[in-house]
Each structure stands twice: as C-alpha cells, then as structure tokens.
Amino acid sequence: MSLKSAAAAACVALAAALPALAEIDAPECVAPAQPGGGFDLTCRIAQQGLDGAFDRPIEVTFMPGGIGAVAFNQFNTTRTDDSNAIVAFSSGSLLNIATGKFGTFTENDVRFLATAGADYGAVIVRADSPYADLGALMDAFKADPGSVVVGAGGSVGSQDWMKGALLLKSVGADPRQMRYVAYDGGGDAIAGLLGGAIQVYTGDVGEMAAHIGDGSMRILAVLAPERLEPPFDAYPTAKELGYDTEWTIMRGFYMGKNVPDADYQAWADAFAAAYKTEAYRQARESKGLMPLELSGPEMDAQVKQLIGELRDIARDAGLIQ
C-alpha cells in the first residue's frame, strides 16, 4: 500500500469512529524562525517525507520571533484548533518551555505530534587530553567540578550547557560549580578545544562526522540511549559506562491542543507510515539527522515527561525558582 493510500485509509477509519473529522485540505508546516535555519530544515523533512500523504503538498511558512515563542503563543491563542497546521520544534524549544521563556503557556497547552529525527550529545576532548576515557573525566568532576573547563556553542542554560550539567549531576556534583565557556557556535567551540582554551566540548555527534579520522579529537562517549549506527557505533554511551546521562537533540512537530482527536491522529498516522519509506529516510539523512521515529499519544507523553525532567534540572541548577 502506498503512503497516500495508507494515510487515506487511516482517515476513513477514523472518520467512521468520529464523524466530526475536519478536512486537512491545506496542510502547513510552520517554521518558527526565518528561512534557512533548523526549524526550516525540520519542516522540509515533513514536506518531502510526507509527499503524497494528503491531497495537497505541505506548505512551509515562517513565523519568526523569540526562537519559537511567537508561534507557541499563537497556537495557544488564535490557532488552537487548526487541523491543517503543524509547528516545528527542537530540544531547545522544550528547554525554553521548561524554563518559562515561552511565557505562561506550558507543555500541556499543545499536543506534540511526531519526531522528524534526532542528533545526540557527545563528550569530546582533544586527542592528547589527559582524560583517556569518560571514567577519568567523571572522576575529575566528582573530585572538583571546577577543575575541568567545559565549553560549547551556547550560553548558560542552553542545551549544550545542560549536557555538562547532567554529567556533573550523574556523579553527585553541583552543576553550578561547572566552569563553562560559552561560544557563539560549535565551530568556535571546537577551535577553543583544539587551541586549549577548554578541555571538554559538549557538542553533538552529527557535527563530528567530518572530524572522524583526522586525529585531532576523541569522543569519550555519546549521550544516546543506546549505541548508534556506523560510523558512531565504536563509541560507548555514557549510560553503558555507568553514568545516567542522556541528551537527545530532538526535532519534531506539535499542534494546537484543541485540534480534533481524529485530525491529530490522521497526522500521526501519516508520519508513522512515512517512517517506513525510503523517501522519508532520504529526506531525514539529507538534513543530517539520525532515526528517531515517534508519533501520536506515545510521543506526546514522552515529550511532556522530558520537559518536566528538564524543569527539575533547571531548578536544581538555579536557573528557575
């Protein structure tokens, strides 16, 4: 059965159970930023990967402002029941929700729909680092959190800072004692690592692909729930080494909380069917993401649980009250 036929069959079945099904006649993916960034990338995966799922192609539109705050507020006010629209989000968006940067609305004011794909955090050192493995680094963190200089492309409270905070937390150290250097981006942080300004870079696995084999850096661990596919399968996870630290850089989509259940499920079913296709795999890989295939109520529940955990970590670190 084709992707279009599968989605159509799902809609027919849902309509029989819920006759009030509204038509998804103008599918739209809202990228809450200017064209060209990560949210645009996320919407393009939906546009390409779900091609044929609906009667019309998914249109990508842009709604910049507050790194997602403007869109989040609009879908909590004037577009809470818009069945045609899905909105791109990232793990950074989830962190902003957890720390109140999106205003008074919380994770319970939207419905998380589906993932586009994922990248994962990584603990990276220079090739000649005295930290031969993750255990040596964690011992240093435990003995004196301020003895290790950590850096990444984000400010205190950002995703990259949170990776370091989680590492310290896993050995009972206070994240507020971490010596952290904020850079404008990952490229600057890598330059800082190679130049000796920092000792550990809490970056992402995907960005390391171009550096594997050049002998300049080493990945001590990846912050994934399990070992990744080649070429990253050689690197252990922090969890398998005994440190309960995981950071999935998730990209995905949410909808307004008042969208009819049948319409929400029709979108979820379209994603579930698309995940099985070569077209979706190619769309995801062309944007540099790895597989992460969750959709529907299960995905919604997992994301809301994650935001709660992020809020607890941010509170422990003194970022929020």
List pLDDT tens digits, range 283-320: 998 888 999 999 999 999 999 999 998 898 788 777 88
Of residues 143, 158, 175, 184, the one with CA closest to residue 67: 158
Instruction: Output the pLDDT for position 314.
Output: 84
> 192: how many CB neighbours lie within 10 A of its CB?
19
Helix axes 159-170, 91-98, angle to 10 degrees: 70
CA distance 228 to 230: 7
Q: What is the pTM of this model?
A: 0.77
**pLDDT value, residue 10:** 39
Backbone torsion region of residue 210, taken as left when φ is above 0, otherwise alpha when ψ lies between -120 and 50, otherwise beta: alpha
Q: Token pair of 305, please?
A: 């649980």
Contact 88, 29 (CB under 8 A): yes
Strand 179-182 and strand 149-152: the pairing is parallel
pLDDT value of residue 22: 56
pLDDT, one tens digit per residue, over 131-184 is 999 999 999 999 999 999 999 987 888 888 989 999 999 999 988 899 999 987
Handedness of CA 209, 211, 212, 218 (dihedral sign): negative
Could you give the 3-state DSSP secondary structure of residue 132?
A: coil
Distance, in Å, from the CA atom of 314 to the CA atom of 321, rounded to the nearest integer, reads 9
Report the C-alpha gap between 175 and 132 in whole angstroms. 23
Taking the C-alpha atoms of residue 155 and residue 184, their distance in angstroms, rounded to an integer, is: 8
**Helix (H, G, I), strand (E, B), or coil: what is residue 169?**
helix
Cis previous bond, 225, omega within 30: no
Question: Strand, helix or coil at 17?
Answer: helix
Question: In angstroms, rounded to a whole number, what is the distance separating the alpha carbons of residues 276 and 280?
Answer: 8
**In terms of Cα–Cα distance, which of 288, 291, 149 is closest to 207?**
288
Task: Tell me whether the CATH fold assigned to 3-118+249-316 matches the one assigned to 120-222.
Answer: yes
117-146 burial: b if 16+ Cβ within 10 Å, else e: bbbbbbbbbbeebebeebeebbebbeeebe
Is 254 within 8 Å of 107 (Cβ atoms)? Answer: no
> What is the per-residue pLDDT for 14?
34
What is the rounded CA–CA span in Å between residue 318 and residue 200? 23
* Number of CB atoms found within 10 A of residue 215's CB: 9
Cα separation, 129 vs 112, whole angstroms: 41
CATH class for the domain made up of 120-222: alpha beta
Residue 215 is encoded by which pair of tokens?
A: 């002998």
Domain locations in the chain as residue ranges: 3-118+249-316, 120-222
**Residue ranges of the chain whose pLDDT lies below 50:** 1-21
- Fold of the domain built from segment(s) 3-118+249-316: D-Maltodextrin-Binding Protein; domain 2 (3.40.190)
Q: Beta-strand (E) ranges in 176-297?
A: 179-182, 200-204, 217-222, 248-256
Residue with tokens 């950002």: 158
Tell me the three state secondary structure of residue 121. strand
List Cα–Cα distances, 24 to 48, 86, 250, in angstroms: 17, 11, 26
